[in-house]
Amino acid sequence: MNIRKTWGVVLSAVLLLSVFVSACGTKTAETTKVRIGEVTRSLFYAPQYVALSQGFFKDEGLDVELTTTPGGDKTMTALLSNGIDVALVGSETSIYVSQQGSDDPVINFAQLTQTDGTFLVSRKKVDTFDWNSLKGTIFLGQRKGGMPQMAGEFTLKKHNINPQKDLQLIQNIDFANITSAYSSGTGAYVQLFEPQATVIEKEGKGFILASFGVESGHLPYTVFMTKMSFLDKNPGTTQKFTNAVQRAQNWVNAKSVDDITTAVLPFFKDIDVEIVKSVIKRYKDQGSYATDPIVDEQEWNNLLDVMTSAGELKEKVAWRKLVNNSFAEKAKSTIKP
């Protein structure tokens, strides 16, 4: 389903929902509860798990409750209905909400990842990869309107490949089933997140050829965001939250792959340790983990270009309208490595 078209349904549904607990959560004299909804559980979000496992949120006086809310539409519905306080999701979702109209816009305030996190996987191993080899093949992509698919199409067009004409593009498989569909024989190429891409490679069912993150450039790919009303009512809590994110980013930037692996393993108990190490190294080496929480204007404009290329943007939304960098800038200036 086209994600852009679902937002009208999402916003209508939110109007019918009861008001849940107050946006700030339960407060005590010592801690403030903040509920995060992450769009998926992924090693791509390693700095978030570091902030939890190393006690950075706790040190700031925050009691963070983390819930996985699969899919951008579900995550945004939870945020708009006060089921969570902060969403960790792609910035494009805040733009979709804005395009539908909102008296309480969703504001991006702390960036976590700065590139796409998917990889091109082929059934055949090649010594020298040429993007033109994709032409005329069956390509198993991501969901239409989602950031992975838009970044994927942006990259293909960059290499003079028309996704709709030069490929047999499959986009009707649920995110959770894409890996199994490829494993069972669907498609010659597939666009996969980690650790699925590495797992496929280790099983001998495919080979990683290229990084869509490297190809599509810096983007506000995964960002902590909340409603403007939350920021207005809870600036102190938001600053503490952003401080913890900056501390985690400093830690990830300075530490070894082994150290990061140890820190995040409690959140990935079912994944082989060596695969975790491999994935973290890949993301760290290609600069996917943001080194500060600032969403800069150039990244935002790159996002708008990607969305425009995919036909998912009604009109360009100004960076200053949906981004508040004041908390990130203060965190960066005060939280030193």
| pLDDT range class, residue 26, cuts 50, 70, 90 | very low
How does strand 168-170 pair with strand 138-140?
parallel
| C-beta atoms surrounding 165 within 10 Å | 8
What pLDDT shows up at residue 175? 80
**Is the per-residue pLDDT at 182 higher than 70?**
yes
Examine the pLDDT at 29 and tell me if it is beyond 70: no
Q: Which of 139, 126, 98 is nearest to 11 (CA)?
A: 98
**Could you give the count of Cα atoms lying within 13 Å of 107 in the half-sphere of its Cβ?**
20
Residue identified by tokens 């203060």 is 330
Give the whole-angstrom CA distance, residue 306 versus residue 147: 9
Can you list the positions of beta strands (E) in 159-276?
168-170, 189-193, 207-211, 222-227
Q: In this structure, what are the phi and psi dihedrals at residue 215, rounded to the nearest 5 degrees? A: -70, -35
What's domain 3-115+219-334's superfamily in CATH?
Answer: Periplasmic binding protein-like II (3.40.190.10)
Q: Where in the chain is the domain with CATH 3.40.190.10?
A: 3-115+219-334, 118-216
Please answer whether residues 214 and 207 qualify as being in contact, where contact means their C-beta atoms are separated by less than 8 angstroms: no
Q: Contact 43/14 with Cβ under 8 angstroms?
A: no
Distance, in Å, from the CA atom of 2 to the CA atom of 17, rounded to the nearest integer, reads: 23
- Neighbouring residues of 160: CB distance < 8 A, sequence distance ≥ 6: 132
Of 190, 225, 223, 220, nearest in space to 306 by CA:
220
Q: Vertex 80, ends 79 and 84: CA angle to 5°?
A: 25
pTM of the model: 0.88
In this predicted structure, what is the pLDDT of residue 314?
A: 85
* Position 30 confidence tier, pLDDT thresholds 50, 70, 90: confident
Highest CATH level, class, for 118-216:
alpha beta
Residue in 203, 204, 172, 208 with CA at minimum distance from that of residue 192? 208
What is the DSSP track for 230-259? Answer: HHHH-HHHHHHHHHHHHHHHHHHHHS-HHH
For 131, which DSSP code?
G
Q: Give the number of other CB atoms < 10 A from CB of residue 223.
A: 28
Tell me the β-bridge partners of 106: 227
Quick check: 106 pLDDT over 90? yes
**Percent of the chain's residues with pLDDT above 90:** 82
Q: Give the model's confidence band at 147: pLDDT under 50 very low, under 70 low, under 90 confident, else very high.
A: confident
Q: How confident is the model at residue 145 (pLDDT cuts 50, 70, 90)?
A: confident
Q: C-alpha angle 166/173/210, rounded to 5°?
A: 55
What digits encode the pLDDT tens for the residues 292-335?
A: 999 999 999 999 999 999 999 988 999 999 999 999 999 999 99
- Is residue 264 within a helix (H) or strand (E), and if so which, with residue range? helix 257-264
| Long-range Cβ pairs for the range 70-78 (8 Å, 24+) | 70/39, 70/40, 70/175, 70/176, 71/39, 71/175, 72/3, 72/39, 72/146, 73/3, 73/6, 73/7, 73/10, 75/37, 75/38, 75/39, 76/7, 76/10, 76/106, 77/10, 77/13, 77/14, 78/37
pLDDT for res 8:
58
Q: What is the mean pLDDT of residues 182-209?
A: 94
Mean pLDDT of the chain, nearest integer: 91
Q: What is the reported pLDDT for 163?
A: 93
Would you say residue 285 has pLDDT above 80? yes
3-class DSSP state of 29: coil
What is the predicted pLDDT for the residue at 211?
96
